[in-house]
Amino acid sequence: MFQENTDQVRLLQPAVLAFVGDAVFNLFIRERLVRRKQASSHQLHIDATRYVKAASQSRIAREMQKDFNEDEAFVFRRGRNAKSTTIPKNANVQDYHYATAFEAVLGYLYLTGQTERLDTFLEQAASIIENDETENQHE
């Protein structure tokens, strides 16, 4: 869609980039769960929320932001600093801002056609949550 104009995508409203990034991350997680286990749609939904809730995405963002290139860091800062009209009742404000910033980066990568970079980030994000769960099970 915008692959030829990265600057145009960089300057989209952070909430618009996050809107796209949210969909990309949700689809990635849902597909990952369906491929890895047989379960009811209800159980898959419960499992998916562990990855996509604001607290988890905030955790992912904090760990991954050190790996962002200049453009990704720019999009991330804009997403983190964007004004939020509503914040989910189960999320704290800071987590929500970091989650929005993470989703904005995913949206940016998707809209600019940077599929290899996007795939790397999606895999890394899922691994962060899965590794956290594995560590918590062993404690």
pLDDT 10s digits, 39-84: 999 999 999 999 999 999 999 999 999 999 999 999 999 999 877 6
- Collect contacts of 1-7 with beta carbons under 8 A, ≥24 apart: 1/111, 2/111, 2/112, 3/111, 3/112, 3/113, 6/71, 6/112
For residue 61 the two structure tokens come to 């963002």
How far apart, in whole angstroms, are the C-alpha atoms of residue 66 and residue 82?
Answer: 20
Residue with tokens 């949700």: 26
User: How long, in residues, is the chain?
Assistant: 139
Residues ≥6 apart with Cβ < 8 Å to 96: 54, 58, 84, 87, 88
Q: Active-site residues: which are they?
A: 22
- pTM of structure: 0.89
The average pLDDT across 13-18 equals 93
User: What domains can be seen in the chain, in order of their start residue?
Assistant: 6-132 (1.10.1520.10)
Tell whether the model's pLDDT for residue 8 goes beyond 60.
yes
How sure is the predictor about 132, in pLDDT bands with cuts at 50, 70 and 90? confident
Tell whether the model's pLDDT for residue 136 goes beyond 70.
no
